[in-house]
Amino acid sequence: MQYSTQMLAQNKVWAYEAALADSTLFGRISRGQSPRVLWFGCSDSRVPAESVTGCGLGDLFVHRNIANIVSPDDPSAMSVIEYAVVALQVEEIVVCGHYGCGGVRASLLPAPDELPHVGRRIGPLRALACRCGGELDRLADVDAKTNRLAELNVLEQVRSLRAMDVIRDAPQPPKIHGWIFDTRSGLIKVLDPTDE
């Protein structure tokens, strides 16, 4: 059996159980969305935003890409940010990276020829790794370097968001948080010192 067939069967069970737990759920979410938070995360399958935060349907507006990179040159990311801030008027934006990120690790290694799109996507990470080379070089191994660069990347994306006109010009600019998910413990760590 294909995994997609199993997924469809699991969806039926999930929908039944969700409606049993809250008979108003599907009627409520079918009328529209009003999430309070934009989640900007990594595409990694181990870090689903709703699961790791305990949020439900409609709680988060989500954008995910390799290594949670916020780039003004990325029309997909920028349209999500614009819609979240202007149309949905989210109150908060969370940039959440994670330890053991494959995109971050790849930025520390030579670019493979067979993944040119990934190579372009992680270009900003390679540049960040170069700028922070002294700090990263003092770390013992590639895992420690990857995890520290993942933290630095989140902080860089927070800075990028805070500098965007769409954020600064909003009538009520959303608060922006920098977090990292620890795949070893399941816990989220706050990285941004202004986020207490």
CB contact set of 85 (below 8 Å; sequence gap of 6+): 38, 93, 166, 167, 170, 173, 174
> Is 42 a known active-site residue?
yes
Q: Do 28 and 42 share a domain, yes or no?
A: no
Task: Evaluate whether residue 76 is within a structural domain.
Answer: yes
Task: Evaluate whether residue 195 is within a structural domain.
Answer: no
Question: Pick the catalytic residue: 46, 120, 138, 168?
Answer: 46
Domain that holds residue 136: 35-190
Residues in the chain where the model's pLDDT stays below 70: 193-196
Q: Do 1 and 49 share a domain, yes or no?
A: no
Q: Could you give the 3-state DSSP secondary structure of residue 65?
A: strand
Give the pLDDT score at 133. Answer: 83
Question: Pick the catalytic residue: 63, 96, 98, 177?
Answer: 98
Q: Do 7 and 89 share a domain, yes or no?
A: no
pTM: 0.92
> Is 130 a known active-site residue?
no
> Is 44 a known active-site residue?
yes
Domain count, the chain: 2
Q: Do 117 and 159 share a domain, yes or no?
A: yes
Give the pLDDT score at 76. Answer: 96
> Is 101 a known active-site residue?
yes
Question: Pick the catalytic residue: 63, 101, 121, 177?
Answer: 101
Task: Evaluate whether residue 96 is within a structural domain.
Answer: yes
